[in-house]
């Protein structure tokens, strides 16, 4: 049984995860980052103890997923947008010492990828890329059954590979990144730009709203779905051409429109990836659902210290 901790900018989830990836007990509280790291860790300790009691088990280790960037090897939190005052703090050491257990941490996208590898869409596979498309685009790359790490242990930023070199500038320094073009807010923004001024609820539309309009047959919304599907497809096709993975698992709020986007993504992939066996790559929705980051945190410990 592993204690799992998912640290995000707005909330912290804690749970007890068993060897088959089931969440036996779970607690969620606001992060309250401004209250400081020490206070937050005291709450996490209390949450872990309650979760362990409710599940009626002893913990054998603690797995942590945290909004990145973080240093997965030292366990130190880096310069995280919503946790600025926590930079340099170390939940791995803090929680490991308190419980006298081994602990391990990955950024939350990598944690989710490890969860999908062990218990979800990548079960039994060696090469998996997990992509989350929401307000941004992030993901984790698993090759040969292990998380891929770059120089200094760096996490590759698949959301920031360039789709359209002449596209809009991105905060990462490049222009026309996958994230800038295909994230959820881009769908609504393009739709609003194209829609006539008297279009009903024009300003209030979200990605989800555009999807609903498209399902109802709205021509303008269908055009935007085609465009978004194209951008998603180009990014997925690039990943397939570069890594030829066994599985690409897609998650995030934009994937609530998977019924609309998946057929377009598949068409772009089959048209674009002629040098690799693209038809053999499984394109799947992520399987672990809303608890994916928490289950993934459990998988982080399993991957580092548990049985393989």
Residues forming contacts to Zn ion in the complex (CB under 5 A) are 160, 170, 172, 174, 177
Q: Which is nearer to Zn ion, 62 or 177 (CB)?
A: 177
Question: In the complex, what is the shortest distance from the CB of residue 225 to Zn ion, in angstroms, rounded to a whole number?
Answer: 23
Q: Which is nearer to Zn ion, 1 or 254 (CB)?
A: 254
Q: Which is nearer to Zn ion, 183 or 304 (CB)?
A: 183
Question: In the complex, what is the shortest distance from the CB of residue 141 to Zn ion, in angstroms, rounded to a whole number?
Answer: 17
Question: In the complex, what is the shortest distance from the CB of residue 55 to Zn ion, in angstroms, rounded to a whole number?
Answer: 41
Buried b (16+ CB within 10 A) or exposed e, 74-92: ebbbeebeebeebeebbbb
CB atoms within 10 A of CB 97: 11
Phi, psi of 17 (to 5 degrees): -115, 130
Question: In the complex, what is the shortest distance from the CB of residue 186 to Zn ion, in angstroms, rounded to a whole number?
Answer: 12
Q: Which is nearer to Zn ion, 238 or 303 (CB)?
A: 238
Q: Which is nearer to Zn ion, 175 or 253 (CB)?
A: 175
Whether the ω angle into residue 29 lies within 30 degrees of 0, i.e. cis, is no
Q: Which is nearer to Zn ion, 170 or 244 (CB)?
A: 170
Element (H, E) at 132: strand 128-133
Q: Could you tell me which of 121, 114, 118, 124 has the C-alpha nearest to residue 20? A: 118
128: β partners: 142, 247
Q: Distance between the two ends of the chain, CA-based, in angstroms? A: 15
Length of the chain, please?
308
Question: In the complex, what is the shortest distance from the CB of residue 173 to Zn ion, in angstroms, rounded to a whole number?
Answer: 7
CB atoms within 10 A of CB 289: 10
Question: In the complex, what is the shortest distance from the CB of residue 161 to Zn ion, in angstroms, rounded to a whole number?
Answer: 8
């Amino acid at each position: 049984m592993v204690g799992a901790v998912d640290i995000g900018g707005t909330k912290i989830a804690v749970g007890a995860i068993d060897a088959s990836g089931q969440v036996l007990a779970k607690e969620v509280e606001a992060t309250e980052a401004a209250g400081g790291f020490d206070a937050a860790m005291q709450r996490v300790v209390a949450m872990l103890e309650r979760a362990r009691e409710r599940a009626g088990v002893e913990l054998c280790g603690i797995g942590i997923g945290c909004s990145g960037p973080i240093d997965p090897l030292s366990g130190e939190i880096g310069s995280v947008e919503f946790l600025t005052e926590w930079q340099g703090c170390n939940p791995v050491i803090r929680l490991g010492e308190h419980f006298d257990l081994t602990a391990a941490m990955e950024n939350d996208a990598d944690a989710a990828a490890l969860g999908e590898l062990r218990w979800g869409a990548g079960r039994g596979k060696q090469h998996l890329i997990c992509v989350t498309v929401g307000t941004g685009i992030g993901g984790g790359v698993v090759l040969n059954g292990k998380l891929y790490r770059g120089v200094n242990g760096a996490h590759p930023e698949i959301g920031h590979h360039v789709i359209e070199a002449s596209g809009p500038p991105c905060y990462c320094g490049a222009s026309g990144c996958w994230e800038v073009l295909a994230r959820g807010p881009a769908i609504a923004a393009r739709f609003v730009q194209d829609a006539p001024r008297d279009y009903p609820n024009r300003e209030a539309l979200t990605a989800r709203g555009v999807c609903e309009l498209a399902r109802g047959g709205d021509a303008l919304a269908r055009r935007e779905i085609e465009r978004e599907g194209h951008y998603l497809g180009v990014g997925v096709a690039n990943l397939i051409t570069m890594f030829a993975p066994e599985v690409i698992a897609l998650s995030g709020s934009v994937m609530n429109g998977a019924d609309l986007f998946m057929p377009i993504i598949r068409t772009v992939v089959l048209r674009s990836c002629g040098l690799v066996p693209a038809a053999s790559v499984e394109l799947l929705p992520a399987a672990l659902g809303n608890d994916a980051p928490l289950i993934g945190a459990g998988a982080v410990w399993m991957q580092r210290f548990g049985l393989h």
